[in-house]
Amino acid sequence: MSLFRARPYAKALFEVVSDQDPAQVQTVADDLDRVAAALAAVPDFQRVLVSPVLSAETKTKVLDQALDTLAVGTLTRRFVHVVQSHYRMEHMSDIAKAYRERVDHSLGRVRARVETASDLGEAERRRLVEVMSELENASVVADFQAKPGLLAGFRMQVGSKVFDGSVSGELARLSRQIEIE
């Protein structure tokens, strides 16, 4: 399922949670992320839930045990059961991502992925987030990752925008420019 198809599920859940208990919007996003991570981490778990061989009752029992282990709240639990009953568990990752995007949008924040040649200190991370927040005119939640292959500098993606200030990026640009000339 693409995000295009996951968005109606995410929208419906967001509207229900916003109407019933707006304080739970972030909690539900965290719950969905845990469910999606469990499905990705344990492929057999997902195979059980999508298997046509097992009965709906068996799948429900397995799902309930997993949701108990993950400490998933009531709203999320009901939603996951709806997704299961519509045979969409293999798309939980896309649904969780679409829901997270909707929550971020409602809270006026954007997500950024920042890759650096080496680990940054906490002060450097904070300063980079401050600058990104000013540029985006929104609260930025950044995920930092060290990528030694960048050689030096950083690569940052905020939404669909990519800023590449790495040495490897500059070398790639020079290489393309040399090929053109």
Please state, rounded to an integer, the average pLDDT across all residues of the chain.
84
Confidence of residue 2 (pLDDT cuts 50, 70, 90): low
Residue with the larger pLDDT of the pair 77 and 152: 77
- Alpha helices (H) in the chain, listed in sequence order: 3-20, 25-41, 43-50, 56-69, 74-85, 92-106, 122-136, 167-180
- In this predicted structure, the answer to whether residue 30 has a pLDDT above a threshold of 90 is yes
* Whether the predicted pLDDT of 6 surpasses 80: yes
Q: What is the CA radius of gyration of the chain?
A: 20
Order of strands across the sheet with 154-158? 139-146, 109-116, 154-158, 161-164
Percentage of the chain beyond pLDDT 90 is 28
Tell me the per-residue pLDDT of 154-175, one tens digit each, with 9 for 90 and over: 777 877 778 777 677 667 777 7
Question: Which pLDDT value is given to residue 107?
Answer: 83
* Ordered domains of the chain (ranges, CATH): 3-105 (1.10.520), 110-180 (no CATH)
**CA distances in angstroms from 169 to 150, 163, 165, listed in the order given:** 7, 10, 7
**The tokens of 31 are what?**
């719950």
Higher pLDDT, 180 or 88: 88
Q: What CA–CA distance (Å, rounded) separates 75 from 35?
A: 13
Give the model confidence (pLDDT) of 55-95 as tens digits. 888 888 988 999 999 999 999 999 999 999 888 888 899 99
Statement: residue 1 has pLDDT above 80: no
